Structure 1
Amino acid sequence: MASVNRFIQFNNETINTKMLHQMEMLAGALADAPYLKVTTRQLIEFRPSESSVSVSVFWRHRPKQIERNGYLSDIYLLGAGYWRHFSIRAWTKFKKASTELPNLKEQLLLCAEEFRLIEKISKERPGTADAFSVRESIYRDYHRDRYKQNKQKGFLADAFLNAAFLQLRGEEVPGSDGFKPLFFLWSGIFDAKSTRDCAIVVENMLPRLEYMLEEDMVHSYYTFGEAVENIPPFRYHEGIESEQRDQEEEIETIEEWFQSWHRETEISEAPAMEFELERGDSSYAEGGREEEGTGEIQQTAKGDSRGDHQEDNDAADRQTEKAAKQASGKFGSANNQVVYTEKRIQVQQDQRGNIEDWRRKQAPYVRALLRELKKRMTQRRQDVRHNLNAGRLSRNLLPLVIEERPKPFYRKTAPSKELDAVFCLLIDGSASMIDKLDETKQAVLLFHDVLRGLNVPHDIVMFYEDAYEASDAAQPNYFEWMHKLEDGNRDHAQEIVSMEAHEDNRDGFAIRWMTDRVNKRTEKHRFMLVFSDGEPSAYNYAENGVIDTANAVSEAKKQGIEVLHLFLSSEPTTEEQAAFYRMMYGNKSVSADSLEHFVEQTLRLLKRTLHLVIQSG
């Protein structure tokens, strides 16, 4: 797991996950492509193999209003402009023509297309005017400054692009007299109606540019992203005639380019199902291949009888944990290649001494909390509230006659004897937890004992990713159960003290996985607690891991699950760290300033949430 405290302060960029999520939703809506992801890169660009478009980090470290409008203008250009109104065919043909100034040639066309598309979007969608106005103002200042610097350094190709940008905005650029004949040709962009029209204007300028300029551009102001030639092969159905197979699928728009990659991704995301269909595995259908035999039983069924049947549960767990499951897009696009296994944690022996010692220390806190909560539950059942504006009509109707504003109603609360709540505890099992294991075990044991004392069903599970086996094709993840909702009130202290640190952590995936499990419960109050000591870190899960985790938390809250986060740290928490976790978990993130405070903060979290459950009855 990567720490929030990176060693280079100026490199310690944090992502506004809420804003990026909003941009992703907007881009998907504009492009009518729900699968579309939004990332940040140096310049706006297209990455269809990742199903993503990138907004520019150019807008960072500016006033909030400018930053937001800048990102919005990027999304408008990408989702409402380039997506359907940029010609891939014209771009491919344009790039094939040889020239001594390839960088300047391509960036001039993209500069022209940006101008054309902004004009087009502004007319079709007047609501985009404010964002584009901010964009134009900031970029004008930027290109003025860059023009002066490039002229001084002798980067004439770069200076020409800066001047060309300003010329389209009606600005006369001082010291650009030598470019005036070219600007006359460049003004043809005002009449351009398509990518091909812009390409013709740039091609007409190239011979003079090659004569005037000795060197190509040094810097990049525009980029396109992945090469258009990078298109997945079209998958033909077996019934297609051979002559039809020779006809290549022609891509005209960026939308079609992305869709071809999206189809390829959907096909490749079901390797397990394809494997089973090709093998004819008897676990999926009767009558599999003879050499496969009868097939091994994958699952066992349990009746709905009352009581704790731990042996049956364990037997079922041992059967199901043998086969890993494919995420296949079910738990967020950032986790498409995850393969996960659910299993019971392996119990370590000779841990009774630690358990007895920890429980002896925690006993006063557990007894006090249980006594307080049960007292509140009893009061909640017995208290009658009088003088209310609504409720049951009291037998004493005298206030109707003698009082100016009578309140003749009363209400007697009568909640169920048991708390209508379910708790799930997710524990980060990454390598960085190794120095915090004892304190974490004590906190989890407290969590377990309090909820057992109140007969509240709860899950306790540790999650981690195997960093050594992770690859582009598959990222193995594991969930190790210490206590399951189905286990009832059984004591699993031995399992809790058997926790060990592993490698990486994929927090967003774990939260989505647990959300899917909790959604099957019928309790009124549902809580998910996440114990973690740093930011998400796994294979291909750096910047997008933070965004994925924030989105997973948001999705869980929308489904009525309250997500709480406890940041485990061996040092006092900095304001930067606190802000980082608030960005992912909102105001439901708290921190323990030292190892000694883990148990105290866990007790405080439990006390606060259980009080809310009792109060709302």
Structure 2
Amino acid sequence: MNRFIQFNDETVDAKTLLLYERLGRALSDTTYLELTERKLLEYRPKEAIISMSVFWRHRSKDIIHYGRLSDIYLLTIGFWKYFDIRTWNTFENKNQLNPLRKFIGEILLLLEEFRLIDLIIKERPGTITAFETRKEAYVSFHRSSISSNMQKGFLADALLNEMYITLHEGIFHESHIDWGPIKFNLIQSILQSAYDSKSTEDNTHIANRIGSIAEQSIHSDLVNQYYSIGASLVDETIQFNYHQGMSDADKGEDERKETIEEVFRSWHEENEDESGVHLEYELEHGRSGKTDGSNATEGDEDADIEETGEGHSEGNESNNRPDEEHEKNENTNEQKKAGKSFGSEHLNVVYEEQHVQVHDSFENRKKLANWREEQKPFVRSIVAEMKKRIDFKEETKREGLMKGRLSSKLTTLVVDERPKPFYKKNAPSTQLDAVFGLLVDGSASMIDKLDETKHAVLLFHDILRTLGIQHEISLYYEDANHATSQIQPNVFNQMHTFADNKQDNGMSILSFETNEDNRDGFAIRWMAEKLYKRREKHKFLLVFSDGEPSAFGYDRNGIIDTAEAVMETEKKGISVIHLFLSSEEPTEEQTALFTMMFGHKTASSNSVENFSDQTLRILKKLLAIVARTS
């Protein structure tokens, strides 16, 4: 299977997007905020996501950079703090039946963008370059859109284009369009009020006045959409479902928020102690207050007992059913919930850690013996080289010291003014101070290279086992057949764990099989957590995979999440190395994609036969680093 069937050749630059995301978090002072790229600027409070526009793609590097910065400034400084949602909702409700409802709504957002840009520049003068770039790009876009919209008869669209140009080029801008019955001069004079606007409410008056003039000669609403900020907030504004019987005092808070920042923080506060499927349902508030007991049924002490129930408290030991309880507890302990500790993309993930079921067949035993016979020279060679490096470090000594052991060369006492006749031996090192974790992609696309992958993993295991280096090897995959929006089951099939020490798990390695999907970012965080707890000085996490991440609801953000997981792991002092397992030479797009996710610590093989060679090369290089710095 080819994992790189791309209907859209464009791939997101994960590293750059993460840097923009961190900037957005800093400007909004919101650690949980996520940034994506969509058609238009957008807010999604339920998911704690803001989106910059794809408008900036396919331009020069400077324009792309400054244009995206202008989006982030507007999203995290401007609309975030100074856009009045309550005023917006009132405005929308009043214009619900207006035939030019979309047109008037986008006029308000256009005016708000203009007001907020001016406000941000005054607050942060360093943003002026980004907004100048934005102005030039969007004025050019609206100027080129006017003529085509007029030809198609999209008068509302053409008028919005002209208004944008007029606002940003000044009130003395002259239109080259014959507006006919549309009173553009009057509209232009009303637009002058935008320069003195101080709030969202001020701009609603301007938008309504322009709308009432446009209604007289324009009979069709906007065809194209230029802003999505307001549209995305109408349904997102928090309106809690309070239970019946609660007084206004019991509710304890206003139902609607005034700023986008408050909406985001409210959603976050409601959900910070939750995980998983709570995002799929409406939030409900409960407050400590009086209940309405008017519908309660009066008790009757003479009533017959119709039904009995048995609780499952751990403290209740009476009438226990040992077999059933043991089975239940065992099943409960098998599955773990990912929650928020593994990243927001994996809130609904549950996972199991289980040992690979060993297939102790004659065929596997024969294959194991043959492979080990083939690999014996390589294992012996690298082990001998590492032992030489260790022995050399034991024998080397530091001379010319002021204290230590007295050297046999005592001429320094006579020749030197300040003699240093002492030396110290380096502390002997009996083994390399390192620990390794290996993750093997268990997706279905690995099936055509299964044996070669097992061969490479076995070589990895045998070298580290012989050197006495602690390591863990796990296959990871997602059960695609049972994955839903509410739950995504993941499995780690462990072939060798840290607890196994020097145990030979060759048969476990030959027994693993391919499954369905791969959730790389989640797997990396899982292994990183294990490595982080280890005491060894050098920590390495290797990932063997044959394609990009692919799992339920993970296609959109899988690349970015994996890149973020790699960055988080590196910050913990754990080096992440990736080996691309491919039966063919990787393309430029594939190489660029893996560099985006794993940085420059990614290698590839041009054929399945070279998996073991690449594994040997990577291990040799890493062990040499450990030996040199231990």
Please indicate, yes or no, whether the TM-score normalized by the shorter chain is above 0.5.
Answer: yes
Ranges in structure 1 where 5+ consecutive residues have no aligned partner: 273-278, 300-317
8 Å CA contact 1:321, 1:341 repeated in 2 = no
Pairwise mapping of residues 285-364 of structure 1 onto structure 2 (< 5 A)? 286-287=314-315, 296=325, 322-350=333-361, 351-364=364-377
- For structure 1, which segment, 356-365 or 456-465, has the greater mean C-alpha deviation from structure 2 after superposition? 356-365
CA–CA distance in 2 between the matches of 1:73 and 1:582?
27
Rounded to whole Å, the distance in 1 between the matches of 2:443 and 2:245 is: 50
Structure 1 residues 27-78: Cα deviation after superposition (integer angstroms, max 9, x where no partner): 1222222111101101110111211000111112222222121111111111
Aligned residue number for residue 100 of structure 2: 101
Look up the match of 1:16: 13
CA distance, structure 2, for counterparts of residue 144 and residue 246 of structure 1: 50
Residue 174 in structure 1 maps to residue 179 in structure 2: no
Question: One-letter code of the match for 1:174?
Answer: S
Q: CA deviation at 1:355?
A: 0.9
Structure 1 residue 417, shift from structure 2 partner: 0.3
**Alpha-carbon separation, structure 1, partners of 2:37 and 2:135:** 20
Matched, 1:448 2:445: no
Equivalent residue number for residue 421 of structure 1: 434
Q: Could you tell me which amino acid in structure 2 is paired with residue 258 of structure 1? A: F
The answer for the alignment partner of 2:512 in structure 1 is 499
Classify 1:54/1:173 alpha carbon distance in 2 versus 1 (closer, same or farther; 3 Å).
farther
Kindly indicate whether residue 152 of structure 2 is the aligned counterpart of residue 141 of structure 1.
no
The Cα shift of 1:519 comes to 1.1
Unaligned runs of 5+ in 2: 279-309
Are 1:488 and 2:506 an aligned pair?
A: no
| C-alpha distance in structure 1 between counterparts of 2:125 and 2:319, whole Å | 67
Q: Which residue of 2 aligns with 1:252?
A: 258
The question of 1:265 aligning with 2:271 is answered yes
**Deviation at residue 560 of structure 1 after TM alignment:** 0.4
- Which residue matches 2:299? none
Whether contact under 8 Å (1:232, 1:264) holds in the other structure is no
1:382 is aligned to 2:395: yes
Structure-2 change in CA distance of 1:207 and 1:563 (3 Å): same
Tell me the residue number matched to 1:614.
627
Query: Which whole-Å CA distance do the structure 2 matches of 1:62 and 1:391 have between them?
Result: 66
Structure 1 residues 397 and 159: alpha-carbon distance in aligned structure 2, compared to 1, 3 A threshold? farther
Once residues 359 and 492 of structure 2 are traced to their aligned partners in structure 1, the CA distance between those partners, rounded to angstroms, is 17
Aligned pairs for 1:214-253 (under 5 A) are: 214-224=219-229, 226-231=232-237, 234=240, 244-245=250-251, 249-253=255-259
Name whichever of 160-169 and 604-613 sits farther off.
160-169
Q: Which residue of 2 aligns with 1:158?
A: 157
**1:69 is matched with which residue?**
66
CA 1:404 to 1:200, structure 2 compared with 1: closer, same or farther past 3 Å?
farther
Cα 1:432/1:363, change in 2 over 3 Å: same
Contact conserved, 2:518 with 2:549, CA < 8 A, in 1? Answer: yes
> How far apart, in 1, do the equivalents of 2:602 and 2:252 lie?
58
Q: Secondary structure at the match of 1:481?
A: strand
Partner residue in 1 for 2:4: 4
Whole-angstrom distance in 2 between the partners of 1:396 and 1:108:
90
Tell me what 1:303 maps to: none
Root mean square deviation of aligned Cα:
3.0
Retained in 1: the 8 A contact 2:276–2:348?
no
Distance 1:419 1:147, change over 3 A: same
Cα 1:220/1:383, change in 2 over 3 Å: same
Contact conserved, 2:44 with 2:236, CA < 8 A, in 1? Answer: no
Instruction: Give the drift of 1:593.
Output: 1.1
One-letter amino acid of the structure 2 residue matched with residue 516 of structure 1: E
Deviates most, 206-215 or 194-203: 206-215
**Which position in structure 2 is the counterpart of 1:207?**
212
What's the offset of the Cα at 1:380? 1.6
Normalised by the size of structure 2, how large is the TM-score? 0.87
Q: Does 1:91 align with 2:88?
A: yes
Amino acid at match of 1:107: E
The 3 A distance-change label for structure 1 pair 512 and 288 is: farther
Report the Cα offset of residue 392 of structure 1: 8.6
Give the equivalent residue in structure 2 for 1:556. 569
Alpha-carbon contact 1:324-1:340 (below 8 Å) kept: yes
Deviation at 1:264, TM superposition (A): 3.9
Superposition deviation, residue 270 in structure 1: 6.8
Per the TM alignment, residue 212 of structure 1 is displaced from its structure 2 partner at its CA by 2.1
- SS of the equivalent of 1:497 reads helix
Q: Which residue is 2:200 aligned to?
A: 195
Q: How many residues align?
A: 587
The question of 1:79 aligning with 2:76 is answered yes
1:573 equivalent in structure 2? 586
What's the counterpart of residue 314 of structure 1?
none
Distance 1:385 1:105, change over 3 A: same
Using the alignment, how far apart are the partners of 1:404 and 1:152 within structure 2? 96
Look up the equivalent residue of 1:256 and give its one-letter code: E
Which shows bigger deviation, 453-462 or 399-408? Answer: 399-408
Q: Answer with 21-30 or 225-234: which moved more.
A: 225-234
Per-residue CA deviations over 1:190-221 (Å, capped at 9, x if unaligned) read 11111111111000111211222232222222
Greater shift after overlay, 226-235 or 384-393?
Answer: 384-393
Q: Is the 8 A contact 2:478 2:517 kept in 1?
A: yes
1:18/1:583 contact within 8 Å kept: yes
Query: Quick check: 1:602 aligned with 2:615?
Result: yes
- Whether contact under 8 Å (2:45, 2:236) holds in the other structure is no
Alpha-carbon distance in 2 for matches of 1:407, 1:566? 50
Give the Cα separation in 2 of the matches to 1:610 and 1:588.
Answer: 15
CA pair 87-231 structure 1, distance change in 2 beyond 3 A: closer
Determine the C-alpha separation between the residues in 2 that align with 1:397 and 1:151. Answer: 98
Report the 3-state secondary structure (helix = DSSP H, G, I; strand = E; otherwise coil) of the residue aligned with 1:201: helix
Moved more, 555-564 or 372-381: 372-381
